[in-house]
């Protein structure tokens, strides 16, 4: 199983079927806040939906297409982060993340995104990592900015959120930029 220790407080582990109850609990508890920016909340209404997500994530991981991890903070699962997609042909990975509202503001997600970036660009030999966030999602957009990602542009009406389209800002980090950065 994939486990990546980030520091003494935070680690990532591949999602497992046994995580379904906790992931669903976090999703349900943070539903209103997450729903503002993530398009899948209305499709995650039972624990079986979470179990299906985990099964799909594990299948894609086995094929090398993605890596969805549980964020573990001080021994407790507190969110999800990973590569929504890994495109080996383009040598690019796309980071996605969400964190239970009770654990926001502790620097957890910045540490997680840095570790994922480093893993992709140094250990996996990819050339680029992208993070995309809705233009109004300032908390999510702050993470790639803190890590020195370059704002590459805006995808107009790039994502459907329940009843409206939102613009998405694309941030990118190249392997050569990460290697020379002091943010690792």
Q: What percent of the chain has pLDDT over 90?
A: 86
Q: What is the pLDDT of residues 3-52, one digit of tens each?
A: 899 999 999 999 999 999 999 999 999 988 888 888 888 889 999 999 99
How many beta carbons lie within 10 A of that of residue 36, not counting itself?
13
Residue 184 has pLDDT above 70, yes or no: no
pLDDT at residue 41, rounded to an integer: 84
In this structure, which topology does domain 3-179 adopt according to CATH? Answer: Aminopeptidase (3.40.630)
The domain segmentation of the chain, as residue ranges, is 3-179
Q: Is the pTM of this model over 0.85?
A: yes
Q: How confident is the model at residue 183 (pLDDT cuts 50, 70, 90)?
A: low
The mean pLDDT of the chain is 94
For the CA atoms of 98, 16, 60, 48, the dihedral, rounded to the nearest 10 degrees, stands at: -80
Residue 182 has pLDDT above 80, yes or no: no
Q: How far apart are CA 50 and CA 22, in angstroms?
A: 10
Q: What is the pLDDT of residues 59-76, one digit of tens each?
A: 999 999 999 999 999 999
């Amino acid at each position: 199983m994939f486990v990546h220790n980030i520091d003494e407080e935070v680690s990532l582990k591949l999602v497992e079927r046994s995580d379904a109850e906790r992931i669903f609990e976090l999703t349900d508890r943070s539903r209103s806040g997450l729903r503002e920016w993530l398009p899948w909340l209305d499709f995650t209404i039972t624990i079986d939906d979470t179990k299906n997500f985990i099964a799909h994530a594990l299948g894609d991981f086995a094929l090398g297409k993605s890596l969805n991890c549980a964020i573990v903070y001080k021994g407790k699962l507190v969110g999800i982060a990973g590569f929504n997609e890994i495109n080996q042909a383009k040598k690019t990975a796309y980071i996605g993340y969400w964190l239970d509202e009770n654990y926001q503001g502790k620097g957890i997600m910045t540490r997680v995104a840095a570790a994922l970036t480093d893993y992709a660009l140094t250990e996996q030999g990819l050339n680029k990592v992208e993070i995309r966030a809705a233009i109004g999602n300032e908390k999510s957009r702050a993470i790639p900015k803190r890590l020195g990602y370059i704002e590459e542009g805006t995808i107009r009406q790039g994502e459907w959120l329940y009843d409206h389209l939102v613009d998405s800002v694309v941030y990118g980090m190249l392997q050569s930029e990460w290697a020379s950065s002091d943010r690792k």
